[in-house]
Amino acid sequence: MEHHQIAMYLAAIADPEAVMMARDAVLMAGDCAKIRLSPRSAKP
């Protein structure tokens, strides 16, 4: 298991809501990156 996975596991035990928020933030950041990387969707 990788270090960040262990950290996520421990955080999930400590504060599940914080983990959910962090995961949502990562997903939103990923969506923004996808939009930025594809020139077609960037144009109006």
Q: How many distinct structural domains can be found in the chain?
A: 1
Q: What average pLDDT does this structure show over 27-34? A: 84
Q: Is the pLDDT of residue 42 over 70?
A: no
- Residue 43: per-residue pLDDT: 58
**Helix, strand, coil tally for the chain in percent (to 5):** 85, 0, 15
The model's pTM is 0.44
φ/ψ of residue 39, rounded to 5 = -65, -30
φ/ψ of residue 15, rounded to 5 = -155, 85
Residue 33 belongs to domain spanning = 3-42
Gyration radius (Cα) of the chain, Å? 15
